[in-house]
Structure 1
Amino acid sequence: MSLEARIQHVKERIEAACQRAGRAKEDVRVIAVTKYVSLEATESVLDHGLVHIGENRWQNAEHKWNALGNRGVWHFIGHLQTNKVKDVIGKFEYIHSLDRMSLAEELEKKAALLDLRQKVFVQVNVSGEESKYGLSPEQLPSFIKKISNFPHIDIVGLMTMAPFEGNPEETRPVFKGLRELRDEINAQGLTREPLKHLSMGMSNDFEVAIEEGATWVRLGSILVGKEEESR
């Protein structure tokens, strides 16, 4: 299937999921996850009008960003090591994986030096899987309250990763849980501005995530395909 055909296929599935949930399709934005594809394939994604690009490791993203960074909106979606903040700050408009205080402090420090405001999603391990990064739901309110006072960090929403399930319907409680956590944070008024966004849902389960309120879905294999780079 061509990239153009995959984009159309995904668009139709997103629209159907929004219709089932009574949501406007414009409320859902797609991040094209290009971590498994080449520079040329990433350029093709941008050529086809997909603006949001997702990468999870700076060492794999660097050459793509150097070539194409001025063309799209870049999202860092992987686990971010504190010593890599200096590499991604100022390049990735969104960081989806803020999950600990040491990382928040380093982001604040580096953003202050560059005089910018870094948009972040706080990562929550809703499923409780040991293999997943993220704060526990119980840790979230106090963490949010503390970093809301950081002047160079803008918390725009929450992110989670659901377990990979053969039946995507089994992921629904995870996505519902993240939405409820966001609503609780907003009800408590813990942030400067209400949290609007939920970054959740990937190729295997994005329709369920949309039905439960996802505003950003992170799509790799179903959208851009998968290839190992030959470098």
Structure 2
Amino acid sequence: MAIADNLTRIRTAIDAACERAGRPASEVRLLPVSKTFGTDAILEAYAAGMRIFGENKVQEVVAKATELADHEDLQWAMIGHLQRNKARDVAACAAEFHALDSLRLAEALQNRLEALDRTLDVFIEVNSSGEDSKFGLPPAEVADLAAGLGSYDRLRPRGLMTIAARSDDRKVVEACFVRMTELRQRLRDDDKSTGSYEELSMGMSGDFELAIAHGATTVRVGTAIFGSRPALGPG
């Protein structure tokens, strides 16, 4: 049960990071990122108490959701970039979407959700590092998207998501998390924003403790739970 042991270790690290930050541990949710791992690994984490898993490829999450459909309390969070023509699949099987970056995508999701009579929790993806290799909106453009989401009642904005800079310099990574905390506060203060913006989905295996120190409410951890990723994954 290596995965169960890893989950215990990560939960302990989350609790300790919350204590150092003066935050209740209940404020931080662990989202295991199971992309490229098979359903056996997911079921091992499920047996250890996890009920929601993060995936970044539509084809992969659909396949896994179909295979594990008999586990009715198991949920999926789509955390990867999404093309509008794949909105149907995410609307059908995901409970959360962490990569909303345009009103055109919001409209595509809204239409599919209406047809299915479902709702979807969403996080606006922010490019907090300014790196060209990353998806997400520049911080300056987030307020306009947040205001426009009022037209889409099937989407439930919960907060913001980011992937911090890839850097060994703690200050560079920390600056990304600070930007997100400040941006969340601006959205909370903006009467035009639609949604609660209570949540920050940020921090991964290498930096989740730093993210917690700066207000993360969901940390997305993959390799520290499941191990090194396979060279080729399903989907």
TM bin, normalised by shorter chain, reads over 0.9
Q: Distance in 1 between matches of 2:14 and 2:33?
A: 16
Describe the shift of the 1:137–1:166 C-alpha distance in structure 2 as closer, same or farther (beyond 3 A). same
Match for residue 90 of structure 1 among 89, 92, 112:
92
The letter for the 1-side match of 2:22 is G
Kept in 1: contact 2:143–2:193 (CA 8 A) = no
Shift of 1:226: 3.1
The letter for the 2-side match of 1:131 is S
Q: Which range is displaced more, 61-70 or 109-118?
A: 61-70
Percent identity reads: 34
Secondary structure of 1:182's counterpart equals helix
Q: Which range is displaced more, 59-68 or 18-27?
A: 59-68
Q: Which range is displaced more, 42-51 or 190-199?
A: 190-199
Describe the shift of the 1:49–1:188 C-alpha distance in structure 2 as closer, same or farther (beyond 3 A). same
Secondary structure of 1:138's counterpart equals helix
Secondary structure of 1:202's counterpart equals coil
Match for residue 206 of structure 2 among 204, 207, 215:
204
Q: Which runs of 5+ in 2 are unaligned?
A: none
Q: Distance in 2 between matches of 1:227 and 1:179?
A: 30
Q: Does 1:216 align with 2:218?
A: yes
Give the 5 Å matches for 1:145-224: 145-224=147-226
Q: Does 1:128 align with 2:130?
A: yes
Shift of 1:155: 0.6
Secondary structure of 2:228's counterpart equals coil
Q: Distance in 1 between matches of 2:126 and 2:141?
A: 9
What is the CA deviation profile of residues 145-176 of structure 1, one whole-angstrom value per residue up to 9, with x for unaligned ones? 01123111111100011122224453111011
Shift of 1:103: 0.6
Give the 5 Å matches for 1:66-85: 66-69=66-69, 70-85=72-87
Q: Kindly report the root-mean-square deviation, in angstroms, between the aligned alpha carbons of the 2 structures.
A: 1.7
Describe the shift of the 1:25–1:114 C-alpha distance in structure 2 as closer, same or farther (beyond 3 A). same
The letter for the 2-side match of 1:63 is A
**Residue 25 of structure 1 corresponds to which residue in structure 2?**
25
What is the CA deviation profile of residues 59-86 of structure 1, one whole-angstrom value per residue up to 9, with x for unaligned ones? 1222211122434121000001111111
What is the CA deviation profile of residues 95-135 of structure 1, one whole-angstrom value per residue up to 9, with x for unaligned ones? 00001121111011111112222110000111111011111
**Residue 43 of structure 1 corresponds to which residue in structure 2?**
43
The letter for the 2-side match of 1:25 is A
Matched positions, count:
231
Kept in 1: contact 2:53–2:75 (CA 8 A) = yes
TM-score relative to the length of structure 2: 0.93
The letter for the 1-side match of 2:113 is A
Kept in 2: contact 1:148–1:192 (CA 8 A) = yes
Shift of 1:53: 0.4
Q: Which runs of 5+ in 1 are unaligned?
A: none
Q: Distance in 2 between matches of 1:179 and 1:68?
A: 36
Q: Distance in 1 between matches of 2:198 and 2:49?
A: 24
Q: Distance in 2 between matches of 1:111 and 1:59?
A: 18
Q: Distance in 2 between matches of 1:169 and 1:43?
A: 37
Kept in 2: contact 1:56–1:78 (CA 8 A) = yes
Q: Distance in 1 between matches of 2:77 and 2:196?
A: 21
Shift of 1:87: 1.1
